[in-house]
Structure 1
Amino acid sequence: MARLKITQTKSGIGGKQNQRDTLRSLGLHKIGQSVVKDDKPEFRGMANTVAHLVKVEEVD
């Protein structure tokens, strides 16, 4: 199964509450921090919600 590497590139400060909550749900707390998640629709949707704050890459 493919996996997604999600890296926070910008701060959630000043953003909407649901965007800040989404960053926390993904496990992101600091700029530059990365997490690796399974490539599932749930995580794709979360990444799309905060697409302007994160960078998403596919990894094996």
Structure 2
Amino acid sequence: MTDKKITVEQTGSAIGRPERQSRTLLGLGLTRIGRRRTLEDTPAVRGMIAKVAHLVKIVDEK
């Protein structure tokens, strides 16, 4: 496993978005605007962030 971490913050609402995007946010552990999560920096997580890039921002990479 990798020891690299990435912190993402939700900046946009899932209301009115396609169900696929809402579920991607849930998969990242983001449920409301302003919520932050620190996740392992894996290709799968990076792909999920890319799918909802307009709703999240990367706060910190370590």
Superposition TM-score, scaled by structure 2 size: 0.89
Other-structure match for 2:43: 41
Residue from 8, 28, 32 that aligns with 2:10? 8
Residues 9, 55 of structure 1: 8 Å contact kept: yes
Given that 1:2 and 1:58 are in contact with CA atoms closer than 8 Å, whether structure 2 keeps it comes out as no
Query: How far does residue 59 in structure 1 lie from its aligned partner after superposition?
Result: 2.8
Q: Secondary structure at the residue paired with 2:17? A: coil
1:50 matched residue in structure 2:
52
Unaligned runs of 5+ in 1: none
Q: How many residues align?
A: 60
After TM superposition, where is structure 1 displaced by more than 4 Å over at least 4 residues in a row?
Answer: none
Could you say what the CA RMSD is over the residues aligned between the two structures, in angstroms? 1.0
Task: Give 1:49's aligned amino acid.
Answer: K
Counterpart CA distance in 1 for 2:32 and 2:18 is 17
Q: Aligned partners of 1:57, 1:11: CA distance in 2, in Å?
A: 18
Shift of 1:48: 0.4
